[in-house]
Amino acid sequence: MPKLVVKNLRKVFGTFEAVKDVSFQVEEKETLCLLGPSGCGKTTALRIIAGLEVPTSGEVFVDGVLVNDLPPQKRQIGLVFQDYAIFPHLSVFENIAYGLRVRKMPEAQIETKVHETAALVDVKSILDVPGKKLGLSEMQRVAIGRSIVLDPKLLLLDEPLSNIDAKARERMRAELGKLQKEIGIATVYVTHDQLEAMTLADRIAVMRNGLIEQIGTTSEIYDRARTLFVANFIGSPSMNLIDCEPVYDEERAILKSGGFSLDITEFAERIRDKTKGKELVLGIRPENVSLDIKKTDPRAIEAEVQLVEPVGAKSIYHLKISGLTVLAKGYPMPEVNVGVKVWATFNKDKLHLFDKKSEETIV
């Protein structure tokens, strides 16, 4: 049985519909990430699950129990906020024990539970340290410890890394990923950061304007985006997107955009079956555009290098192709500099085609 089931969730504030018919489920030990830009409805959905907002319609089941009418403290849910909300005047021990004391658990049981939880989240050595002296990583662990000490069925994390600088975020993301696996609690993680989602989640639900556009594993979302928005939102640098239209003759199908053209004959039947319009968007990720200084592949397209960005072990090449800007990402090529003519080849197995009007995928 899934630990969380959300059915047809909807939330309206006045005339604004923040969440529109959202449905998903989270399995035991699974981490599902609600990913999307600010205002897409992800935090509102999380707050409804936690019991902090009342849904306009829809149902929330935790471990098979309908919780719509239950207050937050009776939902068996752990919630970690953006700022962790650690009590600065209380020790780590007392922060973790707080919920147990509210429930009037016997002191001996509190002692046992706090020490077990502290060992799990690796804060046993700092149990006497006051909250105000904790570092960010320690605060994160204490906040999670305070949530899981109550044996929740579900853990909710609301952008826990958003207020941290990039270097600390990278370290804490790794720590959080390790901690999630060790705890093994079904988790819903809200973020606007695609790297966090792709690193930490078993599955990702990409949200936009109150709706889930696609749910899937990292590879499914990245390699087989169902909509133009998902394709463009996921990936760094972003996918190359080229407005174009198909032109057919007796034997071939060619995508054209100004002076740019690409033979897509192998996709012609699918294009005809899935769209009646002529306005398409061609998508290709930068790592699927290969470069050569000679035309060794007959499908290669002439391009001029406008900028080279070294990014660690690889470089991003900004290319001008028939008036279009296209990015390619690959290992550094010392002979390829600004102003140099190169030949770019698009990996046909990695092409994406979208209907521009519906924004749905064709290929």
**Residue 353 to residue 53: CA distance in whole angstroms:** 39
pLDDT digits (tens, 9 = 90+) for 34-54: 999 999 999 999 999 999 999
Is the pLDDT score of 167 beyond 70? yes
Strands 260-263 and 240-248, sheet pairing: unpaired
Domain ranges of the chain: 4-233, 240-355
Is the pLDDT score of 220 beyond 70? yes
**Residue 241 to residue 361: CA distance in whole angstroms:** 13
Residue pair 180/187 in contact by the 8 Å Cβ criterion: yes
**pLDDT: is 211 or 249 the higher one?**
211
Tell me which CATH code domain 240-355 carries: 2.40.50.140
pLDDT for res 163: 67
pLDDT digits (tens, 9 = 90+) for 348-363: 999 999 999 999 999 8
CA distances from 164 to 80, 106, 136, 137, 337 (A): 15, 37, 8, 10, 36
Which residues, at least 6 apart from 185, have a Cβ–Cβ distance to it below 8 Å? 29, 78, 148, 152, 153, 154, 155
pLDDT band at 19, cuts 50/70/90? Answer: very high
Average pLDDT score over residue span 207-233? 96
Residue pair 188/42 in contact by the 8 Å Cβ criterion: no
Q: Could you say which of 3.40.50.620, 3.40.50.300, 1.10.1060.10, 3.40.920.10 is the CATH number of the domain covering 4-233?
A: 3.40.50.300
For the chain, the average pLDDT equals 91
pLDDT band at 267, cuts 50/70/90? Answer: confident
pLDDT for res 318: 97
Return the SS3 of 83: coil
pLDDT band at 253, cuts 50/70/90? Answer: confident
Average pLDDT score over residue span 255-269? 88
Q: Is the pTM of this model over 0.85?
A: yes
pLDDT digits (tens, 9 = 90+) for 295-342: 988 889 999 999 999 998 999 999 999 989 999 999 999 899 999 999
pLDDT for res 81: 81
pLDDT for res 161: 77
Nearest in space to 180 (alpha carbons), one of 203, 200, 194, 196: 200
136-148 and 166-183 helices, crossing angle to 10°: 30
**pLDDT: is 181 or 356 the higher one?**
356
pLDDT digits (tens, 9 = 90+) for 115-149: 998 988 888 999 999 999 998 888 888 888 888 88
**Residue 327 to residue 344: CA distance in whole angstroms:** 10
pLDDT digits (tens, 9 = 90+) for 270-283: 888 888 778 999 99
**pLDDT: is 169 or 192 the higher one?**
192
Name the helix (H) or strand (E) containing 214.
strand 211-216
Is the pLDDT score of 177 beyond 70? yes
pLDDT digits (tens, 9 = 90+) for 92-108: 999 999 989 988 999 99
Strands 77-80 and 154-158, sheet pairing: parallel
Residue 197 exposure: Cα atoms within 13 Å on the Cβ side: 28
